[in-house]
Structure 1
Amino acid sequence: MAWAELAIAFAVFFVSHSLPLRPVVRSRVEGLIGRPAFLIAYSALSIAVLAWLIGAAGRAPYVALWPWQAWQMHVPALAMLPACLIVALAIARPNPFSFGGRANETFDPAHPGLARWCRHPLLAAMALWAAAHVIANGDLAHALLFGTFAAFALAGMKIVDRRRQREMGAGWQSLSDAVAASPLLPGPVSAKALALRLVAGLCLYLGLIALHPYLIGVNPLP
Structure 2
Amino acid sequence: MAYLILGLILWSAGHFFKRAAPDMRAGMGNAGKGVAALIIVVGLVLMVIGYRGAEFVNLWYPPVWTVHLNNLLMLVAVFVYGMSATKGRLRGKMRHPQLTAVKIWAVAHLIVNGDLASVVLFGGLLAWAVLEVVVINRTQEWERPAPGPARKDILLVVITLVMFGVISWIHNWLGVWPFPG
Q: TM-score range by the shorter chain?
A: 0.7 to 0.9
Structure 1: gaps (5+ residues): 94-110, 166-171
Q: What's the CA shift for 1:62?
A: 1.5
Instruction: Give the Cα separation in 2 of the matches to 1:115 and 1:79.
Output: 21
Report the Cα distance in structure 2 between the residues aligned to 1:45 and 1:75, rounded to whole angstroms.
Answer: 33
Q: Distance in 2 between matches of 1:30 and 1:135?
A: 41
The one-letter amino acid paired with 1:205 is F
Q: 2:179 matched to 1:221?
A: yes
**Is 2:135 aligned against 1:159?**
yes
Aligned length: 179
Check the 8 A contact 1:73/1:220 in 2, yes or no. Answer: yes
Give, in angstroms, the shift of residue 19 of structure 1: 2.5
Q: Which residue of 2 aligns with 1:146?
A: 122
Matched, 1:69 2:63: yes
Match of 2:3 in 1: 5
The 1:55/1:23 distance shift into structure 2, 3 A limit, reads same
Structure 2 unaligned segments of length 5 or more: list them. none
2:157 to 198, 201, 206: 198
CA RMSD of aligned residues (A): 2.9
Task: Give the alignment's TM-score, normalised by structure 2.
Answer: 0.81
Corresponding position of 2:90? 113
Structure 2 CA distance for partners of 1:196 and 1:30, relative to 1, 3 Å: farther
Match of 1:96 in 2: none
Aligned with 2:84 (options 83, 90, 97): 90
SS, match of residue 115 in structure 1: coil
Partner of 1:104: none
Structure 1 counterpart of 2:111: 135
Aligned-residue sequence identity (percent) comes to: 27
Conserved 8 A contact 1:88-1:201: yes
Relative to structure 1, the CA distance from residue 161 to residue 20 in structure 2 (aligned partners, 3 Å threshold; closer, same or farther) is: closer
Cα displacement (A) at 1:48: 5.0
Q: Is the 8 A contact 1:213 1:219 kept in 2?
A: yes
Q: Which runs of 4+ in 1 moved over 6 A?
A: none
Change (3 A) 1:15 1:155: closer
SS class of match (1:123): helix
Secondary structure of the residue aligned to 2:26 is helix
Contact 2:11–2:41 at 8 Å: present in 1 too?
Answer: no
**42-51 or 60-69, which moves further after superposition?**
42-51
For 1:136, the aligned partner's letter is V
When the two structures are superposed, what TM-score results if normalisation uses the length of structure 1?
A: 0.68
The residue correspondences of 1:47-58 to structure 2 (distance < 5 A) are 47=41, 49-58=43-52
